[in-house]
């Protein structure tokens, strides 16, 4: 049978690992060296010195405006309403004259990184943050742009970065999905797609708007019977399965499924605990905020502690950062809870000593134009936009790269999506040209045939 | 490893020094000759494929085609300790002594070869290769010439293969069919015995699952067990092969390869759901039930509209192309971007046909000549012209005058694009260059198209009706003023009003919630894009009507060349020229904006007999024909290998969509060739193939583990047993529902929701969403329908078990089964009834005692759930 071994089976098959898994608590993590010794990841390239083990991707669906958050452009005031030839770049829609940002920028942190008044909380942790103001991508529309952001390709078929990373590094906790997508419960889309990688590397989606774990994980609790009664049922099942194995003979699938049943029985209760952010102290919940994004960020931290490899947190509301109109009003409403939760996550990880080993990445599929659309909005801008990374060995307190005078096009120290992917993989100990998967006759990569590690933004 | 390396180098240095110290020169030469004669050919044939220095990432970082690579080792450390075979990882792995890493994966090397390796290592592991000669030793990895390519095994003509009389007396009675003699031959050469025949209960279960897609009921098992005639098994196969449920099982297999889906991964305005895809699915079921020859089965899917022998009804087969995955083409984007999207769509068709039908990967040749296989960029763009001349449309199921139909199909496309464009204009959030002029011009064009359509199609009111949505768009759904929104200056809608022209599913995430999925209907009518914030979903009936429809149409294609018109710098149109064909330029590095020389439409050169060029129309029919006239051997090997895999859980070529140099070679090449040749002789009959395989002793073997055989061949590459299998999700869900006695076995029709706790039709009838697979499908390794799937994974996850333990779906089934069993009197009778219903057998005495004891604490329904969740239920021994 072409069977993928479970992590547990692999460790056991290697001998000596039994105790590690058997004795450790369900959510206790196995150390990295043990994982590598057991060959649980599929990455076969040279091991680079790994700074990070986990990734939290804060995904701002729709394309947030860099000009109002991280990339101040005084020239927009000077030429407000005008349309110098430098801004004649084709975007999705027809655009008008230059639209200045009404938000005040100040310098923060040891290097005086400029951040707008919309993001006071992120400004307060700016020394942990590497702001990349020279991102660029290749497609001006959402769907291909989103695919490129998460998978390195505009196609609707390729595996997401979360799948690649869990494929490469394996998991630290065999009882949890290694790759989780919060706020994307229904699954699908480039946020969790495993594409041609084996299905075990698919991101498992969970809704987080309601913090009740039973709402987050469907079927988590048995509504017919109490835990003791269910134990009786599980014992009956175990007995039947053991008898069946005795009559059939040793089989990996049969053994694996028996163990998986037992894990699942225990996981019900442990997950009720792990996924319950209401068990956090009140001040922590307040720090993150109690909206869906705050919940998502807080749960992401708990999942990192439990050994989940890659967590994508969608800012709630679908393609909400797509401010074709009323960009200023919209940002005033949307930024506070985003700012609060993202900053709380960075602060909290730092306090717990987890920021060093966790990459917190923030961004959308593109940015927005300095020229206006419909007078009060901004169109999609793939030519130049801002993302940030905190932790995982990125240099904090810097703003890297520059866009042109108007914030339209990345000019200095340009960073493509592939470059960022390559750099993230580098921090996870993998050479992006060596993390490959043989499919349809060739070796595929997250970075396709592109990507350079951006050394200047690494500590 | 960094620590190990220097130590190892010192060690091997010492050993080599030692060798030199006592060996006369001639001994060294002999060792080199020994390497060349005994070791290098094996490495080249068995190992270089995955471990060569030309690869970006050789498997396990181990390179075996250079002396340096072999000396260095891989991720697990050094491969060799010269002089010490027992400490050399290479030998351990080759001997299958490591339970996890056993190489080569196609089967353990013969003992004599292992002895050679042992001797070679013991004598110091001489390796005379230089870097230059290493490269020369693996010429196939530098790409192939046309001539070399034509010699490739998979491209050879087919011929029945003679098989030697089985030499051994021990198993003279074992072979039942010709298949068995090939397998036995190979087993015996490795000193392995086949397994005995499986018990009759296992045989009948296997036959039901393999032919109908679910396990047999208690009564069905009994019927077979009670038939004591010698031909009972063959009669069973014959009976199941003519069951109308056969097609449901085998269509689902093919649907993986055909990447069947009812919608698109984003389902936006220009790539809406396919409301008639289900008719394609039903056609597959009917065609497989009728045992339509495989060559015709494929030709109809590629070119039913062009085949004189095809009926109108067979246009349903065109769903293969007409409901293929595609991307949204936002016409506000530049011509180069739109051109790029179109070539992505056409690339998908090339990929589906080349890997799905021909078992070769052509995708690499989009950007450059294939680096390994004899496929050039020219071959690739010769095929792209075929698909650039094939346009997706909804065609009527009823006959229409061909000339009128062709114009109707053009009108349909043109109106679609115009209505979509007018709608963009009409949206206040979108500004346009020359918007006012465009509005006048485009609206006039819609009016003129309308006038033409109503006149032309006067005789066909259903056709006119199908176009009405384009000039008479349904009213937009206006969001009712939410209380909060009334207070705020701008409503806190998920998206700003300016985003409205983006169709609802533009946000992939938004489309995934049930509420917003309900908005999808409007996406169907390109002129009617609702405000995505609309919080009131239409009634379910409306939703079903639009996601899937029983109007008399099929998702199909017609002959028309497609071009990109970028003459307006602010807006791009796609131009459709019915009846014309388009030759594509070779695109440098696959870039639409960098066209090169024009490539005539045609068949891949390496597979062609004679001239490659296509002459008629798009060339679709010629493509379909030439697969079976020019490359019948390849096409037959590919499908025979797939069918073998669907019967055994492991195909003979373990990369079933890649028969090229990067794929695996067959474990039993002669068997594959012979079976493929006889399959063609038997008129490409899939049912003949099913029966031929199922009557073999190999297939009927027990799947029980045997320690000796596991030791020698854990992967069962040699087929010393049938493979034990896990039911795939369709067979599992159908078996669970059937166990509860509520499976609705009606055949065909509109798709339904597999995640519903009360959807009791067969799993094949669940909607296959490319955006979001049903959760139960995603839980059990259902392949993504965005591209052709070569095979399925088998995973074990805790979330699967949670589903079995706690879901309302399973609990409902358990209660239903228990309710039926409760009609019997007394615990023992009730338990016996449950066992019969769910596990199709009587309980043993021990099981009965345990169950009765269980009922002291638990209920009959909970016990039913336990039985449903057993390994026995999901496992196919």
Q: How confident is the model at residue B533 (pLDDT cuts 50, 70, 90)?
A: very low
- State residue B129's pLDDT score: 75
Per residue of chain A (459 residues), what is the pLDDT tens digit? 334 444 444 444 433 332 223 222 333 333 333 443 344 689 988 989 889 999 999 999 999 999 999 999 999 999 999 999 888 888 888 889 999 999 999 999 999 999 999 999 999 999 999 999 999 998 888 988 999 999 999 888 899 999 999 999 998 887 788 999 998 766 668 888 888 998 888 888 888 889 999 989 889 999 999 999 999 999 999 999 999 999 999 998 999 999 999 989 998 998 989 999 999 999 999 999 999 999 999 999 999 999 999 999 999 998 999 999 999 999 999 999 999 999 999 999 999 999 999 999 999 999 999 999 988 999 999 999 999 999 999 999 999 999 999 999 999 999 999 999 999 999 999 999 999 998 887 899 999 999 999 999 999
Return the residue of B nearest to A3 by Cα.
B794
Nearest CA to B85 out of B121, B58, B113, B116 is that of B121
Radius of gyration of chain B (CA): 31
User: Is B769 at the interface with chain A, CB within 8 A?
Assistant: yes
Task: Report the C-alpha gap between A343 and A352 in whole angstroms.
Answer: 14
CB-count burial class (<10 Å; 0-12, 13-18, 19+) for A19: exposed
Task: Report the C-alpha gap between B144 and B266 in whole angstroms.
Answer: 39
Q: Which of A9, A12, A318, A443 to mutate to test the interface with B (most CBs of B within 10 A)?
A: A318
Asked whether residue B755 carries a pLDDT value surpassing 50, the answer given is: yes
User: Is B867 at the interface with chain A, CB within 8 A?
Assistant: yes
Q: How confident is the model at residue B502 (pLDDT cuts 50, 70, 90)?
A: very low
Task: Report the C-alpha gap between A223 and B472 in whole angstroms.
Answer: 50
Residues A385-409 as b/e (b if ≥16 CB within 10 A, e otherwise) read: bbbbbbbbbbbbbbbbbbbbbbbbb
* Cβ-defined contact of B863 to A62 (cutoff 8 Å): no
Smallest CA–CA distance, residue A37 to chain B, in Å, is 9
Six token digits for residue A87:
């801004």
- State residue B753's pLDDT score: 96
Task: Report the C-alpha gap between A451 and B108 in whole angstroms.
Answer: 40
Task: Report the C-alpha gap between A94 and A101 in whole angstroms.
Answer: 20
Q: How confident is the model at residue B771 (pLDDT cuts 50, 70, 90)?
A: confident
Residue A312 CA, chain-centre distance (Å), reads 3
Residue with token string 């200045």? A100
User: Is B490 at the interface with chain A, CB within 8 A?
Assistant: yes
Q: How confident is the model at residue B290 (pLDDT cuts 50, 70, 90)?
A: very high
Nearest CA to B530 out of A184, B538, B572, B513 is that of B538
Nearest CA to A95 out of B527, B429, B497, B420 is that of B429
Residue with token string 């159908």? B734
CA distances from A181 to A176, A300, B257, B581, B786 (A): 13, 9, 28, 45, 20
* pLDDT (mean) for B616-644: 98
Reduced DSSP (H G I as helix, E B as strand, rest coil) percent helix, strand, coil of chain B, to 5: 50, 5, 40
Nearest CA to B36 out of B93, B152, B116, B139 is that of B116
Six token digits for residue B331:
């016409």
> Please, are residues B354 and B788 in contact by the beta-carbon 8 Å criterion?
no
Any idea what DSSP says for residue B36? Answer: I
Asked whether residue B361 carries a pLDDT value surpassing 80, the answer given is: yes
Which one of A234-248, B527-541, B767-781 scores highest in mean pLDDT? Answer: A234-248
User: Which residues are CB-neighbours of B441 under 8 A, at least 6 positions away?
Assistant: none
**Helix (H) / strand (E) containing B812:** helix B808-821
> Please, are residues A331 and A375 in contact by the beta-carbon 8 Å criterion?
no
Which one of A171-180, A347-356, B433-442, B522-531 scores highest in mean pLDDT? Answer: A347-356
Q: Which long-range contacts (CB under 8 A, 24 or more apart) does B487-493 make?
A: B489/A329, B490/A326, B490/A329, B490/A330, B491/B533, B492/A333, B493/B531, B493/B532, B493/B533
A314, β-bridge pairs = A59
Residue with token string 């002959």? B559
Pick the range with the lowest mean pLDDT from B114-123, B464-473, B577-586.
B114-123
User: Which residues are CB-neighbours of B112 under 8 A, at least 6 positions away?
Assistant: none
Six token digits for residue B438:
């465009």
* Cβ-defined contact of A268 to B344 (cutoff 8 Å): no
> Please, are residues B805 and A230 in contact by the beta-carbon 8 Å criterion?
yes
Task: Report the C-alpha gap between A254 and B541 in whole angstroms.
Answer: 43
* Cβ-defined contact of B61 to A248 (cutoff 8 Å): no
* CB contact residues (below 8 A), chain A span 331-370, against chain B: 333
Q: Model's pTM, two decimal places?
A: 0.81
* Cβ-defined contact of B862 to A233 (cutoff 8 Å): yes
Task: Report the C-alpha gap between B376 and B616 in whole angstroms.
Answer: 23
Give the pairing of strands A358-363 and A367-373: unpaired
Six token digits for residue A367:
């940015």
Six token digits for residue A257:
């499924």
Task: Report the C-alpha gap between A307 and B876 in whole angstroms.
Answer: 34
Residue B804 CA, chain-centre distance (Å), reads 26
Whether the ω angle into residue B618 lies within 30 degrees of 0, i.e. cis, is no
User: Is B846 at the interface with chain A, CB within 8 A?
Assistant: yes
Asked whether residue B617 carries a pLDDT value surpassing 50, the answer given is: yes
Task: Report the C-alpha gap between B325 and B264 in whole angstroms.
Answer: 6
pLDDT of B249-288, one tens digit each? 999 999 999 999 999 988 889 999 999 999 999 999 999 9
**Helix (H) / strand (E) containing B875:** strand B875-876
- State residue B485's pLDDT score: 32
Six token digits for residue A153:
């390709």
User: Is A240 at the interface with chain B, CB within 8 A?
Assistant: yes
- State residue A93's pLDDT score: 85
CB-count burial class (<10 Å; 0-12, 13-18, 19+) for A307: buried
Task: Report the C-alpha gap between B530 and B469 in whole angstroms.
Answer: 14
Q: Which of B93, B265, B802 to mutate to test the interface with A (most CBs of A within 10 A)?
A: B802
CB-count burial class (<10 Å; 0-12, 13-18, 19+) for B398: exposed
Give the pairing of strands B725-726 and B875-876: antiparallel
- State residue A248's pLDDT score: 97
Q: Which of A180, A271, A440, A443 to mutate to test the interface with B (most CBs of B within 10 A)?
A: A440
Which chain A positions have a beta carbon within 8 Å of B265's beta carbon?
Answer: 156, 188-189
Portion of chain B with pLDDT greater than 70, in percent: 84
Six token digits for residue B366:
């989009």
- DSSP reduced 3-state for B876: strand
> Please, are residues A356 and B411 in contact by the beta-carbon 8 Å criterion?
no
SS (H, E, C) chain A: CCCCCCHHHHHHHCCCCHHHHHHCCCCCCCCHHHHHHHCCCCCCCCCCCCCCCEEEEEECCCCCCHHHCCCCCCHHHHCECCCCHHHCCCCCCCCCCECCCCCCEEEECCCCEEEECCCHHHHHCHHHEEEEEEEECCCCCHHHHHHHHHHCCCCCCCCCHHHHHHHHHCCCCCCCCCEEEECCCCCCCCCCCCCCCCHHHCCEEECCCCCCHHHHCCCCCCCCCCHHHHHHHHHHHHHHHHHHHHHHCCCHHHHHHHHHHHHHHHHHHHHHHHCCHHHCCHHHHHHHCCCHHHHHHHHHHHHHHCCCCEEEEECCCCCCCCCCCCHHHHHHHHHHHHHHHHHHHHHHHHHCCCHHHEEEEEECCCEEEEEEECCCEEEEECCCEEEEEECCCECCCEEECEECCCCCCEEECCEEHHHHHHHHHHHCCCCCCCCEEEECCEEEECCCCCCCCCHHHEC
**Helix (H) / strand (E) containing B585:** strand B585-587
Task: Report the C-alpha gap between A153 and A193 in whole angstroms.
Answer: 12
Task: Report the C-alpha gap between B363 and B383 in whole angstroms.
Answer: 11
B418, β-bridge pairs = none
Residue with token string 């005379």? B128
Task: Report the C-alpha gap between A165 and A368 in whole angstroms.
Answer: 29
User: Is A97 at the interface with chain B, CB within 8 A?
Assistant: no
> Please, are residues A145 and B337 in contact by the beta-carbon 8 Å criterion?
no
- State residue B859's pLDDT score: 97
B576, β-bridge pairs = B562
- State residue B135's pLDDT score: 37
* Cβ-defined contact of B494 to A320 (cutoff 8 Å): yes
Q: How confident is the model at residue B113 (pLDDT cuts 50, 70, 90)?
A: confident
């Amino acid at each position: 049978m072409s069977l993928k071994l479970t992590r547990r089976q692999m460790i056991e098959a290697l001998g000596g690992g039994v105790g590690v898994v058997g004795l450790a608590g369900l959510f206790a993590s196995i150390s990295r060296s043990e994982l590598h010794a057991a060959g649980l990841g599929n990455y076969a390239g040279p091991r680079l010195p790994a700074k990070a083990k986990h990734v939290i991707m804060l995904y701002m669906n729709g394309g947030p405006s860099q000009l109002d958050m991280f990339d101040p452009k005084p020239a927009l005031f000077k030429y407000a309403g005008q349309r110098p030839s430098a801004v004649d770049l084709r975007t999705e829609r027809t655009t008008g004259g230059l639209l200045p940002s009404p938000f005040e920028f100040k310098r923060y942190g040891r290097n005086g990184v400029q951040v707008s008044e919309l993001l006071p909380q992120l400004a307060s942790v700016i020394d942990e943050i590497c702001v990349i103001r020279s991102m660029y991508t290749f497609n001006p529309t959402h769907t291909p742009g989103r695919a490129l952001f998460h998978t390195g390709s505009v196609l609707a078929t390729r595996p997401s970065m979360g799948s690649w990373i869990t494929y490469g590094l394996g998991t630290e906790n065999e009882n949890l999905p290694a790759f989780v997508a919060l706020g994307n419960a229904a699954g699908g889309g480039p946020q969790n797609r495993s594409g041609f990688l084996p299905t075990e590397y698919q991101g498992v989606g969970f809704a987080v708007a309601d913090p009740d774990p039973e709402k987050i994980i469907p079927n988590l609790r048995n509504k017919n019977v109490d835990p003791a009664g269910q134990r009786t049922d599980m014992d009956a099942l175990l007995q039947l399965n053991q008898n069946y194995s005795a009559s059939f003979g040793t089989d990996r699938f049969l053994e694996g499924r028996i163990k998986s049943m037992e894990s699942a029985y225990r996981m019900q209760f442990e997950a009720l605990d792990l996924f319950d952010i209401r068990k956090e102290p009140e001040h922590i919940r307040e720090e993150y905020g109690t909206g869906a994004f705050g919940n998502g960020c807080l749960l992401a931290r708990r999942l990192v502690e439990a050994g989940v490899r890659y967590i994508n947190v969608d800012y709630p509301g679908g393609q909400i950062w797509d401010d074709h109109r009323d960009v200023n009003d919209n940002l005033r409403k949307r930024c506070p809870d985003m700012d609060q939760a993202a900053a709380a996550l960075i602060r909290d990880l730092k306090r717990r000593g987890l920021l060093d080993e966790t990459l917190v990445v923030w961004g959308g599929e593109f940015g927005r134009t300095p020229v206006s659309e419909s007078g009060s909005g901004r169109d999609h801008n793939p030519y130049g936009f801002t993302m940030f990374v905190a932790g995982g060995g990125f240099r904090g307190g810097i703003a890297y790269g520059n866009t042109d005078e108007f914030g339209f096009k990345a000019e200095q120290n340009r960073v493509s999506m592939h470059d960022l992917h390559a750099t993230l993989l580098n921090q996870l100990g993998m050479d992006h040209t060596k993390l490959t998967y043989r499919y349809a006759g060739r070796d595929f990569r997250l970075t396709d045939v592109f990507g350079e590690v951006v050394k200047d933004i690494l500590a | 490893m960094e620590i190990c390396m220097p130590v190892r180098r010192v060690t091997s240095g010492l050993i080599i020094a030692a060798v030199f110290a006592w060996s006369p020169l001639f001994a060294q030469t002999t060792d080199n000759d020994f390497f060349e004669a005994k070791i290098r050919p094996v490495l080249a044939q068995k190992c270089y494929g995955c471990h060569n220095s030309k690869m970006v990432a050789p498997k396990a970082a181990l390179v075996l085609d250079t002396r340096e690579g072999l000396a260095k080792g891989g991720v697990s450390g050094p491969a060799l300790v010269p002089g010490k075979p027992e400490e050399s990882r290479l030998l351990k792995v080759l001997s299958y002594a490591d339970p996890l890493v056993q190489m080569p994966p196609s089967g353990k090397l013969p003992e004599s070869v292992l002895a050679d390796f042992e001797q070679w290592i013991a004598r110091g592991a001489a390796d005379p290769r230089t870097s230059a000669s290493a490269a020369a030793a693996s010429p196939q990895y530098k790409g192939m010439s046309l001539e070399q390519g034509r010699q490739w095994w998979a491209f050879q003509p087919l011929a029945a293969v003679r098989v030697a009389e089985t030499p051994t007396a021990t198993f003279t009675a074992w072979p039942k069919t010709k298949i068995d003699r090939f397998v036995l031959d190979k087993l015996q050469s490795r000193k392995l015995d086949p397994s005995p025949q499986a018990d009759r209960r296992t045989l009948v279960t296997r036959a039901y699952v393999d032919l109908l897609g679910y396990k047999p009921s208690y009564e069905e098992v009994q019927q077979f067990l009670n038939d004591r005639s010698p031909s009972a098994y063959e009669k069973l196969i014959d009976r199941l092969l003519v069951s109308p449920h056969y097609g449901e099982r085998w269509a689902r297999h093919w649907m993986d390869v055909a990447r069947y889906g009812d919608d698109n991964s984003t389902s936006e305005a220009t790539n809406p759901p396919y409301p008639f895809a289900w008719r394609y699915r039903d056609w597959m079921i009917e065609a497989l039930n009728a045992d339509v020859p495989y060559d015709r089965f494929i030709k109809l899917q590629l070119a039913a509209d062009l085949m004189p022998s095809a009926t109108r009804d067979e246009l349903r087969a065109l769903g293969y192309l007409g409901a293929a995955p595609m991307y949204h083409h936002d016409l506000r984007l530049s011509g180069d971007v739109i051109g790029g999207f179109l070539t992505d769509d056409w690339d998908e068709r090339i990929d589906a046909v080349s890997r799905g039908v021909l078992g070769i990967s052509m995708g690499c040749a989009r950007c450059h000549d294939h680096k390994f296989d004899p496929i050039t960029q020219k071959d690739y763009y010769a095929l792209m012209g075929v698909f650039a001349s094939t346009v997706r449309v909804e065609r009527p199921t009823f006959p229409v005058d061909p000339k009128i139909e062709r114009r109707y199909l053009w009108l349909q496309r043109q109106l679609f694009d115009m209505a979509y464009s007018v709608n963009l204009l009409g949206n206040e959030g979108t500004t346009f260059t020359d918007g006012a002029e465009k509005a006048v011009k485009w609206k006039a064009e819609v009016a003129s198209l309308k006038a033409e359509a109503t006149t032309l199609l006067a005789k066909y009111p259903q056709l006119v009706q199908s176009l009405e949505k384009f000039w008479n768009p349904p009213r937009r759904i206006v969001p009712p003023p939410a209380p909060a929104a009334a207070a705020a200056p701008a409503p806190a809608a998920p998206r700003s009003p300016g985003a409205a022209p983006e169709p609802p599913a533009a946000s992939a995430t938004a489309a995934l919630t049930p509420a917003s999925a309900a908005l999808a209907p409007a996406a169907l009518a390109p002129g009617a894009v609702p405000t995505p914030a609309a919080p009131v979903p239409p009634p379910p009936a409306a939703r079903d009507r639009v996601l899937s429809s029983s109007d008399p149409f099929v998702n199909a294609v017609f002959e028309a060349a497609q071009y990109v018109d970028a003459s307006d710098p602010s807006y791009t149109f796609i131009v459709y020229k019915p009846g014309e064909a388009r030759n594509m330029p070779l695109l440098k590095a696959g870039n639409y904006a960098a066209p090169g020389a024009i490539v005539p439409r045609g068949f891949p050169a390496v597979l062609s007999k004679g001239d490659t060029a296509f002459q008629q129309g798009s060339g679709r029919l010629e493509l379909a024909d030439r697969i079976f006239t020019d490359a019948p051997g390849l096409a037959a090997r590919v499908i025979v290998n797939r069918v073998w895999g669907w019967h055994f859980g492991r195909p003979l070529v373990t990369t079933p969509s890649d028969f090229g140099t990067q794929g695996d070679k067959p474990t039993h090449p002669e068997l594959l060739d012979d079976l493929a040749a006889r399959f063609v002789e038997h008129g490409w009959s899939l049912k003949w193939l099913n029966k031929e395989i199922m009557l073999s002793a190999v297939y009927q073997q027990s799947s029980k583990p045997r320690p000796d055989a596991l030791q020698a061949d854990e992967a069962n590459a040699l087929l010393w047993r049938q493979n034990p299998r896990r039911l795939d999700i369709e067979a599992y869900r159908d078996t669970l529902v059937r166990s509860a006695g509520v499976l609705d076995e009606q055949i065909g029709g509109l798709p339904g929701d597999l995640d519903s706790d009360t959807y009791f039709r067969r799993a094949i009838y669940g909607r296959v969403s490319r955006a979001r697979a049903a959760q139960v499908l995603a839980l059990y390794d259902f392949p993504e329908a965005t591209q052709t799937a070569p095979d399925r994974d088998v995973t074990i996850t805790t979330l699967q078990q949670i589903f079995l333990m706690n879901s309302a779906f399973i609990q409902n089934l358990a209660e239903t089964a228990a309710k039926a069993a409760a009609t019997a009197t007394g615990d023992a009778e009730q338990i016996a009834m449950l066992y019969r219903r769910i596990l199709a057998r009587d309980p043993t005495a021990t099981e009965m005692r345990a169950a009765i004891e269980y009922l002291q604490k638990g209920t009959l329904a909970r016990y039913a759930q336990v039985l449903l969740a057993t390994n026995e239920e999901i496992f196919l021994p």
